[in-house]
Amino acid sequence: MDLRQENVLLKNKLKAVQKGAELEQQPWEPSPKKQKIMTHGTATLFAGEKILVGLDSFKEIVNQSSTIINKTLLISKFIECKEIISLVIRPRQFGKTINLTMLRKFFSIPIHPDNKNCRYELFKDTKIMERSDVYNKYFCKYPVIFLSLKNNESCSTWSSMQTRLCQQLATLYNDHHYVYYQVSQKILNKSRFDKINSGKFKDGVTKDALLYLFKYLKDYHRNKCIVLIDEYDHPLEVAYQHQYYEEARGFFASLFGALLKGNNENLEKALLVGVSRVAKSGYLSELNNLKVFPMHHEVFANYFGFTENEIFMLLQHNGKENQLDDVRQWYNGYRAGNSLNLYNLWSINSFINEGNLKAHWIDTGGTKTIKDLLWNSTEDFKNNTSMLLKGYAINVRIMEDMDYNMLAQKSNIDNVLWTLLYYAGYLTKDKNDNLCIPNMEEQFSRFIMNSLSYYDVTDKMAETNYHVFIIGLFNQAYCRGYKLISNREAGTGRFDLKIEPTEKVNFKTGVFMEFKVLKNEKQNKKKLQDKANEALEQIKNKRYFSDLPKFTKQCVICGVAFQGKDVYIASEVLNSWQN
List the chain domain ranges: 71-302, 481-579
Q: Rounded to whole angstroms, how far apart are CA atoms 279 and 276?
A: 8
State the CATH architecture for 71-302.
3-Layer(aba) Sandwich (3.40)
Q: What is the pLDDT of residue 384?
A: 87
What pLDDT is recorded for position 455?
Answer: 44
Are 254 and 69 a contacting pair, CB within 8 Å? Answer: no
Instruction: Output the pLDDT for position 331.
Output: 83
- CA–CA gap between residue 564 and residue 360 (Å, rounded): 30
pLDDT tens-digit readout, 389-414? 777 899 998 887 777 777 767 677 88
Report DSSP state, residue 478.
H
Distance CA 85, CA 82 (A): 9
Residue ranges of the chain with per-residue pLDDT less than 70: 1-32, 201-205, 279-282, 338, 361-367, 375, 408, 410, 440-469, 471-473, 475-476, 478-479, 520-521, 523, 565, 577-579
Given this model, what pLDDT does residue 463 score? 63
For position 362, what pLDDT does the model report?
Answer: 57
Contacts of 539 (CB under 8 A, 6+ apart): 495, 512, 514, 545, 557, 559
What pLDDT is attached to residue 482?
84
pLDDT for residue 9: 42
| Structure confidence at residue 29 (pLDDT) | 52
pLDDT in tens, 318-356: 999 899 988 888 887 788 876 788 888 888 888 898 888
pLDDT value, residue 448: 61
Return the H-helix or E-strand segment holding 28: none
Q: Tell me, what's the pLDDT at 395?
A: 93
pLDDT at 537: 93
Q: Compute the residue count for the chain.
A: 579
Q: What pLDDT score does 48 carry?
A: 86
Q: What φ, ψ does residue 90 adopt, rounded to 5°?
A: -145, 155
Angstrom CA distances, 46 to 257, 304, 307, stand at: 39, 17, 15
Q: Which residues have CB under 8 Å from 491's CB, separation 6+? A: 542, 543, 544, 545, 546, 547
| Order of all β-strands in the sheet with 36-40 | 36-40, 43-47, 68-69
Task: For CA atoms 198, 203, 205, 209, give the dihedral sign.
Answer: positive
Residues whose CB falls within 8 Å of the CB of residue 241, separated by 6 or more in sequence, listed in order: 368, 369
DSSP state of 168: H
